């Protein structure tokens, strides 16, 4: 039961307050000014800045930690309070030189600047004192300037308790305290994962993006030789801060005309972080996250915060290219479109519409995916359209569609952070979905959330787990089913939920017969006790979220394994409530949206089947053309059809299929057989090398559109800059191509495309650009009135009778490469790079942190084969060969290897080793089922991972900034004591006077 609101008195007026609110939160909400430097809504109270003193019932208290109580009398204006706040601020300014006009952080949002100005501080009580430390410029992306650091500890709080990387602390034991990284090492050599949290929250210019320095201000590029005396002179002649601020305000206002701030949505993983991009012409000055961002708030990760250099890369495609003999020749758009019209038109006429395949991009917008499937279906007459969810989460979608009816996450990141138990199965969120992982790490560290991880690799969340299990590869469905069976046997199922909301229980229970504890132990290698332990954890938690990714979905029995997870959640009643549900973590920024908006062979936008005549009729009427009636080829089918000659031409955009699809040799060989191949991309990718025409596209920063993240959240991104060279937004290109085939489209802006999609797909009925303005977002399904659905299944499941379905599933044994291939090859992502690196490898800073790919080898295997960091080995599978350097790590065990996919080099890319075996239902490749043999090529060599990588770092976990250590310093006098003692003028309110006398 929520307690009712109550009223408190502030400066003689009555205000509403909610239970659990602090006095500071109340005054902030009511716009009553109280300075607060260290407090932010996300980080909460740190208690270091001592500026937020107010008088409560006559006593001076920190408003940030004083809970509002009914009848409380608060005073924020008396002279006594102002003296306390002034003292707090003066102590801060002892650590911070105000040279705002020549500071790159003078952009109107500097907390220190704004607070000093608002308080009307005229003079500095304590002189500024430089600290005896040099600035730390070692990190490629940001720098720490101790002289400007006010020791508020926001950065430490963010690092320790929000990002939970536990790198930063303040060393309060020194004569002059400062922020340190790990055990006081240069930033670049610490455990810092470059997430940017510390820089995002810094209230001044102590932690700054290097890309801002000397760039943001009009006067900030002045050489130090001139700048130093200028600062001195300004301080000498200026009568007070008021005048400094007058000038700096003017300068900050002038910056507005040259620094553009544009809201965008990240284009890397599926978490869907949104933030402002600050640009000066085409230069990206910084990424600035804001509290109001619905998913990430002030959080970012290394790629989202820093990984945007690719936009200005000299290697961007800027002109259409046409294959002529053994080279590509630059051409005009007209020339390129002529070729496409002629060749694609010929293939269509000669071999029929189904002889052409269309591969869409999960990097591109909803509008672009919508338009592409419309082009394939309506203009070109085929359902042969698919996207890269086929490589990752199609099995999860299928598993959820058949059990609960919606192919998306059951809730949002807020459910994940509020669950009592998080199950992470075959996923590495700390590297693949970093900001989402922070919410788990925070809840686990601070709020008692339990964490269970099942993985064959000991990644970060595995290291932090309360229970970590390492089943034999490809056996997850067995232990999941055994856990479910055990729960049923113990009577721990949610009987009421099953009775009222679920179909198929009896048949399902029967199907579990074989999954005894003994069978599970034999097949998975997990002990019976461990399986009971897992079941007990689930039973004891009132709310459970299950998160999974490629560790489940890239197997031959992937849809069934996903189904088993959903079944387990149904049995235990973990759907439809806050903190529950199934969360297949989407890998790309818009892989959810690509599926949602119809680039799938069997579905129109909004998951309506192409075989349904009434749905088809709706689209035929709207588009004015007949539509194909049968599902088309998926990606896998297309490759097969290219190989046997049924598919003659392919139009692909924004997808590095040559390296990302499994069994690269086979896929590339298939490309070679095409009669005509159009590739549309921002870079000259490996896939583009096989093309006949290459069209230069524009990335998200150069266009408008929307993405759907893993939560089903639709978010808008805005054009930051014009397309580079002759490149064009993908939707414009589709329109040009479609019009060559008589489409006669005339879309002027992506919002018109969204309006069309929303008018046709009931799932998005109420979606429009106005409702998505700025940081507003909508989580589908969206009703016509604009109401959305952050949490699914609260009332009913997405089936006609509203009931979920338990689906019996069985184990599919994995592909075995044969006895010769004695090492198990696991593969996936790492934090610093994205996928094959077409974008992130264009960043100097990211390449500094991770220049090369490496092979993770266990200490046991290293010992057995005489391997060490830097040993060059060759790996052979039945499908190909690569050469990579070794890193020995206990993240992997025994004969299990881990080879990240982040390389564009032909002799290193993991998919030259993987096979075309696939999930038997969705055709998602079984990337995770491969054996290889290893030969040592060069025993000694330079380690592929440089010493300045966070993996070598040494974390220093603690809760918050340890402000008690500050308070126990001999040079610290509590402000309330000092002010009350010093209140000799007797100028406080009567109650204060009484207390101080």
For another protein, the closer CB: 326 or 513: 326
User: Which runs of consecutive H residues, i.e. helices, occur in 143-193?
Assistant: 154-157
- What's the min distance (Å) between Cβ of 336 and another protein? 13
Beta-strand relationship, 13-17 and 59-62: unpaired
Scanning 39-47, 295-303, 528-536, 689-697 for contacts with another protein by CB under 8 A, the matching segment is 689-697
Residues 6+ away with beta carbon under 8 Å from 639:
661, 666, 667, 670, 916
The residue with tokens 């002799």 is: 907
- Choose, by CB under 8 A, the member of 204, 691, 698, 853 that binds another protein: 691
- Choose, by CB under 8 A, the member of 673, 865, 933, 995 that binds another protein: 673
Q: Helix, strand, or coil here: 591?
A: helix
If binding is defined by CB under 8 A, does position 811 make contact with another protein? no
Q: To which H or E segment does residue 706 belong?
A: strand 705-708
**Interior CA angle at 86 toward 80 and 91, to 5°?**
135
If binding is defined by CB under 8 A, does position 604 make contact with another protein? no
| DSSP code per residue over 277-329 | EEEETTEEEEEE--TT-TTTTT---HHHHHTTGGGG-TTB--S-EEEETTEEE
- What's the min distance (Å) between Cβ of 488 and another protein? 54
If binding is defined by CB under 8 A, does position 984 make contact with another protein? no
What CA–CA distances, in Å, run from 211 to 99, 300, 842? 19, 16, 16
Binding mask 199-228 for another protein (x = CB under 8 A): -----------------------xx-xx--
If binding is defined by CB under 8 A, does position 120 make contact with another protein? no
Work out the widest C-alpha separation in the chain, in whole angstroms. 100
Binding mask 81-100 for another protein (x = CB under 8 A): --------------------
For another protein, the closer CB: 513 or 672: 672
Count CA atoms within 13 Å of residue 648 on its CB side.
14
Q: What is the dihedral of CA 208, 211, 212, 216, to 10 degrees?
A: 180
The CA distance from 826 to 891, in Å, is 12
For another protein, the closer CB: 329 or 622: 329
- Choose, by CB under 8 A, the member of 330, 640, 752, 860 that binds another protein: 330
Scanning 80-88, 316-324, 527-535, 659-667 for contacts with another protein by CB under 8 A, the matching segment is 316-324
Q: Is the dihedral of CA 842, 848, 854, 856 positive or negative?
A: negative
Picking from 795, 791, 806, 802, the residue whose alpha carbon sits closest to that of residue 580 is 791
For another protein, the closer CB: 30 or 243: 243
If binding is defined by CB under 8 A, does position 314 make contact with another protein? no
If binding is defined by CB under 8 A, does position 493 make contact with another protein? no
Question: What are phi and psi for residue 938, nearest 5 degrees?
Answer: -135, 120
The pair of structure tokens assigned to 352 is: 């029929």
Asked if 300 and 196 touch (Cβ cutoff 8 Å), the reply is yes
- What's the min distance (Å) between Cβ of 118 and another protein? 22
Rg (CA), the chain: 30
- What's the min distance (Å) between Cβ of 315 and another protein? 11
If binding is defined by CB under 8 A, does position 233 make contact with another protein? yes
Asked if 399 and 524 touch (Cβ cutoff 8 Å), the reply is no
If binding is defined by CB under 8 A, does position 690 make contact with another protein? yes
- Choose, by CB under 8 A, the member of 67, 123, 258, 514 that binds another protein: 123
The CA distance from 385 to 528, in Å, is 45
- Choose, by CB under 8 A, the member of 157, 431, 692, 702 that binds another protein: 692
For another protein, the closer CB: 329 or 784: 329
Does residue 384 come out as left (phi exceeding 0), alpha (psi in the -120 to 50 range) or beta? Answer: beta
For another protein, the closer CB: 223 or 491: 223
- Choose, by CB under 8 A, the member of 53, 515, 583, 671 that binds another protein: 671
If binding is defined by CB under 8 A, does position 684 make contact with another protein? yes
If binding is defined by CB under 8 A, does position 232 make contact with another protein? yes
Scanning 232-240, 368-376, 784-792, 815-823 for contacts with another protein by CB under 8 A, the matching segment is 232-240
Asked if 810 and 519 touch (Cβ cutoff 8 Å), the reply is no
- What's the min distance (Å) between Cβ of 687 and another protein? 9
For another protein, the closer CB: 327 or 496: 327
How many residues bind another protein (CB under 8 A)? The answer is 36
Residues 6+ away with beta carbon under 8 Å from 66:
22, 23, 24, 54, 56
- Choose, by CB under 8 A, the member of 4, 175, 237, 800 that binds another protein: 237
For another protein, the closer CB: 243 or 630: 243
Scanning 414-422, 492-500, 683-691, 787-795 for contacts with another protein by CB under 8 A, the matching segment is 683-691
* Helix, strand, coil distribution of the chain in percent, nearest 5: 35, 15, 45
The CA distance from 396 to 512, in Å, is 21
If binding is defined by CB under 8 A, does position 174 make contact with another protein? no
Q: Helix, strand, or coil here: 877?
A: strand
If binding is defined by CB under 8 A, does position 327 make contact with another protein? yes
Scanning 300-308, 319-327, 560-568, 751-759 for contacts with another protein by CB under 8 A, the matching segment is 319-327
Question: What are phi and psi for residue 172, nearest 5 degrees?
Answer: -80, -10
For another protein, the closer CB: 123 or 863: 123
For another protein, the closer CB: 638 or 758: 638
Asked if 456 and 473 touch (Cβ cutoff 8 Å), the reply is yes
Considering only residues 542 to 561 of the shown chain, the ones binding another protein according to CB under 8 A are: none
For another protein, the closer CB: 319 or 618: 319
Beta-strand relationship, 53-56 and 385-386: unpaired
- Choose, by CB under 8 A, the member of 101, 160, 511, 668 that binds another protein: 668
The CA distance from 83 to 65, in Å, is 19
For another protein, the closer CB: 63 or 124: 124
- What's the min distance (Å) between Cβ of 387 and another protein? 23
| DSSP code per residue over 133-148 | ---B--SSSEEE-GGG
Q: To which H or E segment does residue 827 belong?
A: strand 823-828
For another protein, the closer CB: 520 or 650: 650
If binding is defined by CB under 8 A, does position 801 make contact with another protein? no
- Choose, by CB under 8 A, the member of 125, 129, 969, 981 that binds another protein: 125
For another protein, the closer CB: 313 or 768: 313
Q: To which H or E segment does residue 608 belong?
A: strand 608-609
If binding is defined by CB under 8 A, does position 321 make contact with another protein? yes
DSSP assignment letter at 948:
T
The CA distance from 425 to 417, in Å, is 17
What counts of helices (H) and strands (E) characterise the chain? 34, 37
The CA distance from 751 to 704, in Å, is 8
Beta-strand relationship, 207-209 and 356-359: unpaired
Scanning 139-147, 669-677, 819-827, 942-950 for contacts with another protein by CB under 8 A, the matching segment is 669-677
For another protein, the closer CB: 268 or 690: 690
Picking from 924, 908, 905, the residue whose alpha carbon sits closest to that of residue 916 is 924
Scanning 151-159, 293-301, 668-676, 896-904 for contacts with another protein by CB under 8 A, the matching segment is 668-676
For another protein, the closer CB: 362 or 668: 668
Scanning 80-88, 327-335, 372-380, 593-601 for contacts with another protein by CB under 8 A, the matching segment is 327-335
- Choose, by CB under 8 A, the member of 119, 230, 505, 798 that binds another protein: 230
User: What is the binding site for another protein (CB under 8 A)?
Assistant: 123, 125, 222-223, 225-226, 229-230, 232-233, 236-237, 239, 243, 319, 321, 323-324, 326-330, 658, 668, 671-674, 677, 684, 686, 689-692
């Amino acid at each position: 039961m929520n307690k009712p609101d109550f009223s408190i008195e502030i400066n003689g007026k009555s205000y509403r307050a909610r239970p659990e609110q602090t006095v500071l939160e109340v005054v902030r909400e009511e716009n009553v000014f109280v300075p607060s430097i260290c407090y932010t809504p996300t980080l909460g109270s740190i208690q270091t800045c001592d500026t937020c003193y107010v008088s409560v019932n006559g006593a001076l208290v920190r408003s940030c930690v004083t809970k509002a109580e009914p009848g409380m009398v608060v005073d924020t204006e008396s002279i006594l309070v102002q003296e306390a706040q002034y003292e707090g601020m003066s102590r801060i300014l002892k650590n911070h030189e105000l040279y705002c006009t020549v500071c790159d952080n003078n952009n109107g949002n500097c907390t220190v600047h704004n607070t000093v100005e608002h308080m009307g501080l005229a003079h500095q009580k304590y002189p500024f004192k430089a600290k005896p430390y040099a600035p730390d410029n070692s990190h490629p992306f940001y720098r720490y300037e101790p002289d400007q650091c006010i020791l508020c500890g926001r950065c430490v709080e963010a690092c320790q308790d929000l990002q939970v990387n536990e790198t930063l602390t303040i060393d309060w034991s020194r004569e002059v305290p400062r922020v340190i990284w790990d055990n006081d090492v240069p930033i670049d050599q610490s455990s810092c994962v470059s997430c940017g949290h510390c820089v995002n929250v810094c209230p001044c210019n102590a932690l700054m993006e290097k890309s801002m320095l000397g760039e943001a201000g009009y006067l900030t590029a002045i050489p130090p030789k001139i700048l130093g005396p200028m600062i001195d002179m300004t301080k000498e002649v200026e009568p007070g801060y008021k005048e400094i601020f007058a000038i700096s305000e003017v300068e900050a206002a002038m910056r507005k005309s040259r620094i553009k701030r544009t809201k965008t949505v990240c284009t890397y993983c599926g978490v869907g972080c949104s933030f402002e991009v600050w640009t000066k012409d085409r230069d990206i000055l910084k990424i600035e996250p804001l509290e109001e961002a619905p998913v990430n708030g002030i959080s970012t990760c290394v790629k989202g915060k820093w990984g945007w250099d690719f936009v200005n890369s000299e290697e961007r495609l800027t002109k259409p290219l046409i294959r002529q003999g053994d080279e590509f020749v630059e051409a005009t758009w007209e020339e390129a479109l002529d070729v496409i019209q002629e060749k694609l038109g010929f293939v269509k006429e000669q071999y029929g519409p189904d002889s052409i395949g269309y591969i869409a991009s999960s990097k591109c917008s909803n509008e672009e995916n919508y338009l592409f499937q419309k082009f394939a279906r309506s203009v070109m007459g085929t359902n042969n359209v698919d996207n890269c969810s086929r490589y990752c989460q199609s099995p999860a979608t299928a598993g959820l569609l058949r059990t609960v009816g919606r192919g998306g996450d059951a809730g949002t990141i807020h459910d994940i952070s509020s669950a009592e138990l998080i199950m992470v199965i075959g996923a590495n969120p700390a590297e693949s979905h970093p900001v989402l992982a922070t919410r788990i790490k925070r809840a686990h560290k601070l709020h008692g959330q339990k964490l269970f991880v099942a993985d064959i690799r000991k990644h970060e969340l595995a290291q932090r787990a309360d229970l970590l299990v390492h089943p034999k590869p490809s056996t997850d469905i067995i232990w999941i089913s055994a856990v479910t069976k055990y729960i049923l046997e113990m009577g721990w199922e949610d009987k009421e939920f099953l009775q009222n909301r679920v179909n198929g229980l009896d048949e399902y229970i029967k199907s579990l017969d074989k999954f005894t504890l003994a069978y599970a132990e034999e097949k998975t290698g997990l002990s019976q006790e461990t399986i009971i332990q897992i079941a007990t954890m689930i039973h004891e938690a009132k709310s459970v979220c299950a998160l999974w990714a490629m560790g489940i979905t890239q197997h031959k029995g992937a849809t069934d394994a996903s189904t088993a997870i959903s079944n387990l959640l149904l049995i235990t009643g973990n759907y439809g409530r806050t903190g529950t549900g199934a969360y297949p973590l989407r890998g790309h920024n818009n892989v959810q949206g690509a599926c949602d908006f119809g680039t799938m062979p069997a579905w129109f936008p909004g998951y309506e089947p192409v075989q349904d005549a009434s749905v088809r009729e709706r689209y035929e009427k709207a588009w004015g053309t007949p539509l194909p009636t049968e599902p088309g080829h998926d990606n896998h089918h297309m490759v097969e059809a290219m190989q046997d000659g049924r598919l003659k031409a392919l139009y692909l955009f924004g997808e590095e299929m040559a390296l990302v699809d499994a069994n690269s040799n086979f896929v590339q060989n298939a490309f070679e057989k095409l009669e005509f191949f159009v590739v549309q991309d921002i870079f000259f990718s490996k896939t583009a090398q096989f093309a006949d025409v290459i069209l230069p596209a524009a990335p998200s920063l150069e266009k408008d559109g929307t993405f759907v993240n893993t939560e089903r959240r639709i978010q808008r991104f805005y054009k930051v800059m014009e397309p580079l060279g002759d490149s064009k937004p993908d939707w414009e290109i589709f329109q040009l191509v479609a019009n060559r085939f008589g489409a006669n489209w005339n879309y002027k802006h992506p919002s018109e495309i969204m309006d069309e999609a929303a008018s046709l797909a009931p799932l998005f009925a109420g979606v429009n650009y106005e409702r998505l303005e700025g940081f507003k977002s909508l989580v589908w399904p969206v009703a016509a009135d604009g109401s959305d659905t952050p949490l699914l299944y609260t009332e009913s499941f997405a089936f006609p009778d509203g009931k979920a379905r338990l689906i019996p599933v069985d184990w599919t044994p994995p592909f075995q490469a044969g006895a010769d291939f004695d090492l198990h090859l696991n593969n996936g992502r790492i934090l610093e790079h994205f996928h094959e690196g077409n974008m992130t490898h264009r960043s100097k800073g990211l390449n500094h942190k991770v220049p090369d790919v490496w092979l993770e080898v266990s200490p046991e295997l290293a010992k057995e084969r005489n391997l060490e960091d830097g040993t060059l080995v060759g790996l052979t599978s039945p499908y190909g060969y690569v050469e990579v350097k070794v890193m020995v790590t206990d993240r992997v065990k025994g004969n299990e290897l881990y080879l990240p996919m982040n390389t564009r080099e032909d002799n290193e890319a993991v998919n030259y080793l993987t096979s075309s075996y696939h999930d038997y239902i969705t055709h998602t490749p079984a990337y995770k089922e491969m054996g290889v043999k290893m030969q040592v090529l060069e025993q000694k060599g330079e380690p592929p991972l440089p010493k300045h990588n966070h993996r070598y770092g040494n974390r220093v976990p603690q809760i918050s900034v340890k402000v008690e250590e500050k308070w126990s310093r001999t040079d610290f006098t509590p402000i309330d004591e000092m002010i009350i003692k010093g209140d000799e003028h007797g100028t406080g309110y009567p109650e204060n006077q009484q207390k101080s006398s």
